[in-house]
């Protein structure tokens, strides 16, 4: 059922914010467990980041010679640059096979030869272990199956509803959500439930060029921080090395999946030199932080606007990679006969709201799963195709946590007062995107980070955010401040965080995650006791 308007006041047991892989998996499991669940989503159901994922789901199903769960764990830890939470890696990797089986039971169709699923390989993986669908349309197929199952299960979906803030009772427990709806978010209202799951995706829109859709504005991290939760690893914004380059542009850009390199394509410079050889033992299939940094360095050194991905040697490109092929053809490029111009673009938030592997944030009643959360799986750099995996596994586990917490907590005070919307710092989006793209992308230094902070500060006014755009811009402003604070504090280079003024990794003093919370004035601050252990 899809409902419009904010008059939806019937009690729910669980509000899920977001309709990607983690949100819909949780909503389906919650409905199956007999919970009254409502999904709140800014656009239509299924229009978040999940549908744009190309590569696939990294999972060890036991039928690839030489691969093992232990190898998947080891690759995840190696990519993560020493900041993963080893327990989280273990739990999520080991949860993968069961979660993928249940996703297939819900109707997702993966590419297969007979009874055996096809596999591809991406950067940082020591084996062909990534299952995929529709060639390079894995996210679209996962989303299709979950949306169909959600409709089939009769889950209530409030589309066109923007989550604004968490409602809390006098004890600080989250007991609902204030929302905006109607044209541009002009109407306000509240939804009440003793459990709220944030599954809102990342904050790629903080950068001018991103693979993320327009919905990825950091809303969930902002709501969680304002509710008293902790975030961590926010400085680790992963740039995808190969995004189709068609000149400077703002907004979502077409991805060229890493699986293209997994199946043999090679990065070249203008002179045709394959420059990844010698940079890393895995060359073009190095972890993506290494490849993205190498492209950035190489284009700066050679004065090129982009690098070129040579896939001309791959047989059957158009059928194996139909999404990439269509994007290239639209840009007038034929990848069967000419190299694809590519550049890195903001792709994935490795950090987010600190949770345990059950999605608990530490604020009673508030949960987070998927890209919005920081479970410790990714560390300083996410291994390719571990994100759909995490969404599936934690999306299931969080419902078990909600059920357990509900049994233990007793009745929540659902009568929390609805305060007037607070005044928040809001900067205009174009200024944020310019500042972060210039100074907090790949290759940061103290001078640039300070200049970005000054630019954000100068553009910020304090006021009550108006409508959807206001809520999103307030979230992006908070994320900009938080990312800049964390990036300035981490004076080393590690994973996706590359400091040109501190090029080395410092395992003696900085081998821990940086936590961020809001101070009494509502500003994000890096917490002095930086080590993240548990949520």
Closest CA to 135 of 195, 211, 56, 67: 56
Query: 385 vs 513, which CB is nearer to ligand SIN?
Result: 385
74-101 b/e (C-beta count within 10 Å ≥ 16 → b): ebbbbbbbebbbeebbbbbbebbeebbe
Taking the complex as a whole, how short is the minimal distance between the CB of residue 333 and ligand SIN, in angstroms? Answer: 18
Taking the complex as a whole, how short is the minimal distance between the CB of residue 344 and ligand SIN, in angstroms? Answer: 12
Strands in 114-173 per DSSP E: 116-117, 130-131, 156-159, 162-168
Stretch that binds ligand SIN, among 74-82, 216-224, 251-259, 415-423 (CB under 6 A): 251-259
244 binds ligand SIN (CB under 6 A): no
- DSSP string spanning 481-534? HHHHHHHHH--S-BTTB-BSSS-S--TTT--SPPEEEE-TTS-EEE-SS-----
Q: What are phi and psi of 499, to 5 degrees?
A: -105, 120
- Torsion sign (Cα): 287, 108, 18, 228: negative
93 binds ligand SIN (CB under 6 A): no
Taking the complex as a whole, how short is the minimal distance between the CB of residue 385 and ligand SIN, in angstroms? Answer: 4
Q: At what angle do helices 386-409 and 21-32 cross, to 10 degrees?
A: 40
Taking the complex as a whole, how short is the minimal distance between the CB of residue 136 and ligand SIN, in angstroms? Answer: 7
55 binds ligand SIN (CB under 6 A): yes
327 binds ligand SIN (CB under 6 A): no
Query: 259 vs 479, which CB is nearer to ligand SIN?
Result: 259
Q: What are phi and psi of 13, to 5 degrees?
A: -90, -30
Taking the complex as a whole, how short is the minimal distance between the CB of residue 243 and ligand SIN, in angstroms? Answer: 10
Distance CA(385)–CA(399), nearest Å, equals: 23
Segment 117-156, which members bind ligand SIN (CB under 6 A)?
A: 122
210 binds ligand SIN (CB under 6 A): no
217 binds ligand SIN (CB under 6 A): no
375 binds ligand SIN (CB under 6 A): no
Half-sphere exposure of 151 (CA within 13 A, CB side): 11
Query: 54 vs 477, which CB is nearer to ligand SIN?
Result: 54
385 binds ligand SIN (CB under 6 A): yes
Q: Which of 41, 54, 210, 375 binds ligand SIN (CB under 6 A)?
A: 54
3-state helix, strand, coil in the chain (%, to 5): 35, 20, 45
Stretch that binds ligand SIN, among 325-333, 381-389, 472-480, 514-522 (CB under 6 A): 381-389
258 binds ligand SIN (CB under 6 A): yes
Q: Which of 84, 216, 257, 327 binds ligand SIN (CB under 6 A)?
A: 257
Tokens 């979660």 — which residue?
Answer: 99
Tokens 């039928």 — which residue?
Answer: 63
Asked if 156 contacts 1 with a C-beta cutoff of 8 angstroms, the reply is yes
Residue nearest to ligand SIN (CB): 55
Query: 157 vs 265, which CB is nearer to ligand SIN?
Result: 265
Task: Report CA 132 to chain centroid distance, whole Å.
Answer: 19
387 binds ligand SIN (CB under 6 A): yes
Stretch that binds ligand SIN, among 64-72, 165-173, 294-302, 384-392 (CB under 6 A): 384-392
Give the binding-site size for ligand SIN (rule: CB under 6 A).
11
Tell me whether residue 226 is one of the annotated catalytic residues.
no
159-169 b/e (C-beta count within 10 Å ≥ 16 → b): bbbbbbbbbbb
Stretch that binds ligand SIN, among 100-108, 253-261, 306-314, 509-517 (CB under 6 A): 253-261
384 binds ligand SIN (CB under 6 A): yes
259 binds ligand SIN (CB under 6 A): yes
Closest CA to 23 of 390, 379, 404: 390
Taking the complex as a whole, how short is the minimal distance between the CB of residue 107 and ligand SIN, in angstroms? Answer: 22
- One of 253, 288, 382, 490 is an active-site residue; which one? 288
Contacts with ligand SIN, residue ranges (CB under 6 A):
53-55, 122, 257-259, 348, 384-385, 387
Residues annotated as part of the active site? 288
């Amino acid at each position: 059922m899809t409902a419009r308007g904010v008059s939806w006041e019937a009690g729910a047991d669980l509000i899920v914010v977001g309709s990607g892989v983690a949100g819909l998996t949780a909503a389906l499991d919650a409905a199956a467990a007999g919970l009254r669940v409502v999904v709140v989503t800014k656009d239509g159901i299924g229009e978040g980041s999940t549908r744009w994922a190309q590569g696939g789901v990294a999972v060890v199903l036991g039928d690839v010679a030489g691969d093992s769960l232990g190898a998947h764990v080891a690759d995840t830890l190696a990519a993560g640059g020493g900041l993963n939470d080893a327990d989280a890696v273990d739990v999520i990797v080991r949860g993968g096979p069961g979660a993928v089986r249940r996703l297939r039971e819900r109707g997702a169709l993966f590419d297969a030869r007979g009874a055996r699923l096809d596999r591809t390989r991406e950067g940082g993986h020591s084996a062909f272990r990534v299952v995929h669908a529709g060639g390079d349309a894995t996210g679209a197929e996962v989303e299709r199956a979950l949306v169909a199952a959600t409709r089939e299960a009769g889950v209530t979906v409030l589309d066109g509803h923007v989550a604004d803030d968490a409602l809390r009772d006098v004890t600080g427990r989250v007991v609902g959500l204030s929302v905006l709806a109607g044209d541009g978010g002009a109407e306000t209202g509240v939804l009440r439930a003793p459990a709220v799951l944030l599954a809102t995706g990342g904050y790629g829109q903080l950068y001018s060029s991103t693979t993320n859709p327009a919905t990825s504005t950091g809303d969930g991290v902002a709501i969680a921080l304002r509710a008293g939760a902790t975030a961590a690893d926010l400085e680790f914004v992963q740039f995808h090395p190969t995004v189709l380059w068609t000149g400077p542009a703002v907004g979502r850009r077409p991805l060229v999946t890493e699986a293209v390199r997994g199946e043999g394509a090679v990065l070249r410079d203008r002179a045709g030199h394959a420059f990844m050889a010698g940079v890393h033992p895995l060359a073009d299939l190095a972890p993506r932080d290494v490849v993205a940094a190498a492209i950035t360095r190489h284009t700066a050194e050679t004065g090129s606007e982009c690098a070129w991905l040579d896939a001309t040697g791959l047989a059957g490109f158009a059928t194996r990679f139909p999404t990439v092929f269509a994007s290239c053809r639209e840009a007038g490029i034929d990848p069967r006969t000419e190299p694809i111009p590519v550049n890195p673009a903001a792709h994935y938030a490795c950090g987010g709201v600190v949770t345990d592997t059950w999605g608990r944030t530490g604020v009673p009643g508030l949960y987070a799963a998927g890209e919005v959360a920081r479970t410790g799986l990714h560390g300083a750099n996410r291994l390719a195709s571990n994100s759909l995996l995490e969404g599936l596994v934690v999306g299931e586990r969080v419902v078990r946590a909600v059920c357990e917490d509900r049994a233990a907590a007793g009745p929540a005070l659902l009568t929390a007062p609805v305060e007037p919307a607070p005044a928040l710092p809001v900067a205009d989006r174009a200024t944020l995107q310019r500042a972060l793209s210039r100074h907090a992308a790949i290759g940061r230094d103290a001078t640039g980070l300070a200049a970005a902070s000054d630019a954000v500060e100068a553009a910020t006014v304090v006021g009550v955010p108006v409508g959807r755009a206001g809520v999103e811009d307030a979230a992006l402003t908070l994320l900009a401040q938080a990312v800049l604070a964390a990036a300035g504090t981490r004076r080393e280079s590690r994973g996706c965080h590359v400091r040109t003024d501190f090029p080395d990794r410092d395992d003696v003093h900085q081998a821990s995650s940086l936590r961020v919370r809001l101070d009494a004035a509502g500003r994000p601050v890096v917490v002095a006791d930086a080590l993240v252990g548990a949520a």
